[in-house]
Amino acid sequence: MKKRKLEFSSHTGNLALMRKFVRGFLEHYPLSEKERMLIVLGVDEACTNIIRHAYELRDDELIALSLEGLRGCVRLRLRDYGKKTPAHRMKGRTHDLVRPGGLGLHLMRTAFDKVDYIVKRRGTELVLTKNLVNG
C-alpha cells in the first residue's frame, strides 16, 4: 500500500500544486489518461467546493488530502474543518440544465466509483474511491 499526504491552505492558488501532486501519485497506477484527468478534475472540484462552501472563500483554512493506493483501488480523502453541508443538500443537479453550479457532484461521480461524505464533529471528510481494473 502506498500513501501520500498533502496539507495546504484554502487559497485557490494552491490548487495547481494539489493537481500536480495528485497527477504524480496516479502515474504509478493502471489508469488511462482520461481516468487520470477525470480524477484530478474531480479532486479539484471537491477542493473548490470546500473553499466556496465549507470555508466561505476564506483562504487561510486547512485542507488535508490523503492518497492511498490499495489492492484494487485508489482512495483519496479530503478533510476540511469548516461549515458542514447537510447530506440532503449534496445532490447536485441534472447535467442537462444550462446554468452555473451543481455539476461538481456529477463530475465526481463520473470520475470515481464511490463518493462518500463523512460528517465529522468538526467539518467533513470526503472519501473518493476509484477501482483499478488490473488491481
pLDDT in tens, 10-21: 999 999 999 999
- Residue 64 has what pLDDT? 98
Q: pLDDT tier at 135 (50, 70, 90 boundaries)?
A: very low
Q: With b meaning 16 or more CB within 10 Å and e meaning fewer, what string describes 16-45?
A: eebeebbeebbeebebeeebbebbbbbbbb
Dihedrals phi, psi of 77, to nearest 5 degrees? -120, 125
Which one of 84-88, 115-119, 131-135 scores highest in mean pLDDT? 115-119
Q: What is the rounded CA–CA span in Å between residue 54 and residue 7?
A: 16
Q: Give the pairing type, strands 73-80 and 114-119.
A: unpaired
Which grid coordinates are listed for 62?
486547512
- Residue 98 has what pLDDT? 45
- Residue 102 has what pLDDT? 62
Question: Can you give the pTM of this predicted structure?
Answer: 0.86
pLDDT digits (tens, 9 = 90+) for 7-51: 999 999 999 999 999 999 999 999 999 999 999 999 999 999 999
- Residue 88 has what pLDDT? 53
